[in-house]
C-alpha cells in the first residue's frame, strides 16, 4: 500500500526535477538569445550598416570558415585552431607561473610580518600600473615571441593571486593555530596543514580573477608584442576591416575564458567542499 504512492511520488519528483532544470536552463539562455535575435533583426532590416556591424549570421559564417575552411582559400581560412591553440598555450603557461609565484609569495607575505613589511609596499606600488605599460620592456627583454606574452600574462595574473593569498593566510583564525599546536603539530607542518587550507577560499578567488586577467592580457600581448594568436588575428583583421573575424575572435576569447574559469571553479568545488554552507 505504501509502495505504489512512493513510486508515483518518486516519478513525479523526477518529472518535477527535469522541469525545474529545463526552466533554469531556459532562463539562463534567454538573455543571450534575445540579444542575438535583436541583433540579427537590426541587420536584416538594415538598421545596422553591414560594413561596420556584421550580422550574427555573417559572423557565424566567418567563424565556420575560419575554423573549418580549406587552408589558403583566404588568409584566415582554416587557421582558427592554430591561433586559439597559441593563445590558450600562452594563457596556461603565464597563468601557471603567476599561480605558483602568487601562492608562494602571498603565503610568505601573509605569514611572516617581516616579509610583509618589506615586500608588500613594492607590490602595492607596482599593482596599479597598467600591464600595457610594461609592453616596451617585455619586447626589449623577450622579443616578439612567446616570452613577452608569458611575462605580461604572468605579471598581470600575479597581482590578484598574491594579494588574495596574502589576505587569506593572514586571516587564518588564531584559534585553529592554537588547536593545531595543542594537537602537537610539527612547526613546519602548520603552513600546509592549517594555514593553506584555511586560506583556500581566498586563493581560489585570486585564481579566478587571475585567469580572467590572463585572457585579457593574452589579447593585449598578441596585439602588441607577438605575431600569432587570437589577439594577433584580431589586430590583423582590423587592418583589412574584417569586422566579422574580429567579432568571431571576440566570441572565441569569451568562450575560452568561460571554459578556463569553469575548470578552476570545478577544481575549487572539490577543494572547497567543506566551505559550502559556512
The yes or no reply on residue 103 touching other proteins (CB under 8 A) is: no
Report d(CA 34, CA 189) in Å as an integer.
54
Report d(CA 94, CA 149) in Å as an integer.
8
Sequence-separated (6 or more) residues with CB below 8 Å from residue 108 = 115, 119
The yes or no reply on residue 179 touching other proteins (CB under 8 A) is: yes
Instruction: Name the minimum Å distance from CB 277 to other proteins.
Output: 5
The residue behind cell 606600488 is 125
Interacting residue with other proteins among 78, 147, 197, 212 (CB under 8 A): 197
Instruction: Name the minimum Å distance from CB 195 to other proteins.
Output: 11
The yes or no reply on residue 269 touching other proteins (CB under 8 A) is: no
The yes or no reply on residue 183 touching other proteins (CB under 8 A) is: yes
Q: Which long-range contacts (CB under 8 A, 24 or more apart) does 34-38 make?
A: none
Instruction: Name the minimum Å distance from CB 20 to other proteins.
Output: 24
Q: For the window 203-222, what string marks contact with other proteins as x by the rule CB under 8 A?
A: --------------------
Instruction: Name the minimum Å distance from CB 183 to other proteins.
Output: 4
Residues 53 and 43: beta-carbon distance below 8 Å:
yes
Interacting residue with other proteins among 200, 250, 251, 264 (CB under 8 A): 200
Report d(CA 157, CA 154) in Å as an integer.
5
Residues 210 and 99: beta-carbon distance below 8 Å:
yes
Looking only at Cα atoms, what is the longest distance across the chain? 81
The yes or no reply on residue 171 touching other proteins (CB under 8 A) is: no
The yes or no reply on residue 278 touching other proteins (CB under 8 A) is: yes
Residues 231 and 153: beta-carbon distance below 8 Å:
no
What Rg value do the Cα atoms of the chain yield, rounded?
24
Q: Which is nearer to other proteins, 20 or 179 (CB)?
A: 179
Binding region for other proteins (CB under 8 A) out of 70-78, 135-143, 169-177, 262-270: 169-177
Binding site for other proteins (CB under 8 A): 173, 175-176, 178-186, 189, 193-194, 197-198, 200, 273-278
Amino acid at each position: 500500500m505504501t509502495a505504489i504512492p512512493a513510486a508515483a511520488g518518486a516519478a513525479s519528483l523526477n518529472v518535477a526535477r527535469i522541469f525545474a532544470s529545463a526552466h533554469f536552463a531556459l532562463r539562463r539562455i534567454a538573455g543571450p538569445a534575445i540579444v542575438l535575435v535583436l541583433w540579427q533583426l537590426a541587420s536584416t532590416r538594415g538598421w545596422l550598416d553591414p560594413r561596420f556591424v556584421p550580422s550574427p549570421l555573417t559572423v557565424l559564417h566567418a567563424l565556420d570558415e575560419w575554423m573549418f575552411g580549406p587552408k589558403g582559400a583566404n588568409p584566415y581560412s582554416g587557421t582558427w585552431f592554430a591561433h586559439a591553440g597559441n593563445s590558450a598555450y600562452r594563457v596556461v603557461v603565464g597563468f601557471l607561473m603567476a599561480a605558483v609565484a602568487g601562492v608562494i609569495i602571498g603565503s610568505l607575505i601573509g605569514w611572516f610580518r617581516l616579509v610583509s613589511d618589506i615586500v608588500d609596499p613594492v607590490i602595492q606600488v607596482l599593482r596599479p600600473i597598467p600591464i600595457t605599460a610594461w609592453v616596451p620592456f617585455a619586447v626589449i627583454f623577450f622579443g616578439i615571441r612567446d616570452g613577452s606574452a608569458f611575462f605580461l600574462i604572468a605579471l598581470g595574473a600575479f597581482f590578484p593571486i598574491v594579494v588574495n593569498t596574502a589576505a587569506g593566510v593572514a586571516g587564518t583564525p588564531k584559534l585553529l593555530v592554537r588547536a593545531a599546536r595543542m594537537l602537537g603539530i610539527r612547526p613546519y607542518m602548520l603552513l600546509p596543514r592549517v594555514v593553506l587550507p584555511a586560506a583556500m577560499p581566498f586563493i581560489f578567488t585570486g585564481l579566478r580573477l587571475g585567469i580572467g586577467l590572463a585572457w585579457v592580457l593574452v589579447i593585449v600581448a598578441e596585439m602588441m608584442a607577438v605575431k600569432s594568436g587570437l589577439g594577433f588575428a584580431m589586430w590583423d583583421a582590423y587592418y583589412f576591416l574584417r569586422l566579422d573575424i574580429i567579432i568571431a575572435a571576440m566570441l572565441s576569447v569569451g568562450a575560452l575564458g568561460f571554459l578556463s574559469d569553469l575548470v578552476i571553479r570545478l577544481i575549487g568545488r572539490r577543494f572547497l567542499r567543506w566551505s559550502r554552507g559556512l
